[in-house]
Amino acid sequence: MNDVALLGLLQLADSALPVGSAPHSFGLETMAETGILTPENIEPLLRDYLQEAGMLEAVFVRRAWGRKALHGLNDELSARKPARESRQASLALGRRLAELVNGWIGATVVDAGLHYSVAFGAACAILGVAEQPAVLAYLQQSVTNMVSCGQRLMPLGQAAATRIIWNLKGAIAQATRAALNLAALDPDEEVMCFSPLLELSSMRHGSLETRLFIS
């Protein structure tokens, strides 16, 4: 991967990239409201996320990186997102990422109807980013955004937040290896995750009396 591709990846994975992730908690707000999510347990919760839902998203980043037929891949990921709010949030982020990348390049190179992980993988391939850094960066960005959500929902300071992200480096690397190994064995191998707490929390988000986040 050359310097230009590396710089492109750093821009794609920048938490300040205006893709619209700030209004979405993907169920964390419900968990904080009900007392399930606390400053003490957000790190192990995110570690579990990386083993399940995070690894699933990582697989789709990798598959989008290496495949041209993205709409079938996108439909498959939609079917694996039973919570409507999280599914719509993922599509909204993917659309915004595609608009940004297309604007940078000056041509429609990423479809605007893709889920965020699929659009991210496709964008990385177009920008010349290698598969492993693409997956690592996606998961790092995902964890950073979720920790940022936690900071707005709970008394979680900057130092504690950065320590959590640092402590999760090994789990991010492990989820990346698992995703790449699965893709190497069989590009179409069935991939599953079991994360009912996040899915149910996302489904229940609309019933909260007051909400800071869209999802």
Q: Do 134 and 121 form a contact (C-beta atoms < 8 A)?
A: yes
pLDDT of the chain, 215 residues: tens digit per residue: 899 999 999 999 998 899 988 888 989 999 999 999 999 999 999 999 999 999 999 999 999 998 768 999 999 999 888 888 889 999 999 999 999 999 999 999 999 999 999 999 999 999 999 999 999 999 999 999 999 999 999 999 999 999 999 999 999 999 999 999 886 666 666 777 778 888 889 889 888 888 888 88
User: Which distant-in-sequence residues (6+ apart) come within 8 Å of 66 by Cβ?
Assistant: 125, 131, 183, 187
pLDDT at 187: 61
Distance of alpha carbon 103 from alpha carbon 22, whole angstroms: 21
* Centroid of chain to Cα 168: 15
Query: How far, in Å, are 89, 139, 143, 162 from residue 83 at the CA level?
Result: 10, 20, 19, 29
What does pLDDT average to over the chain? Answer: 91
pTM of the complete model: 0.94
The H-or-E segment that residue 33 falls in is helix 28-33
Query: How far, in Å, are 7, 81, 87, 210 from residue 28 at the CA level?
Result: 31, 16, 15, 14
CA neighbours closer than 13 Å in the CB half-sphere of residue 212: 16
**Tokens at residue 98, please?**
């595609």
Q: Count of residues for the chain?
A: 215
What would the pLDDT profile of 20-51 be if each residue is shown by its tens digit? 888 889 899 999 999 999 999 999 999 999 99
pLDDT at 66: 86
List domains and CATH numbers for the chain.
Answer: 3-7+22-186 (1.10.4190.10)
pLDDT at 29: 93
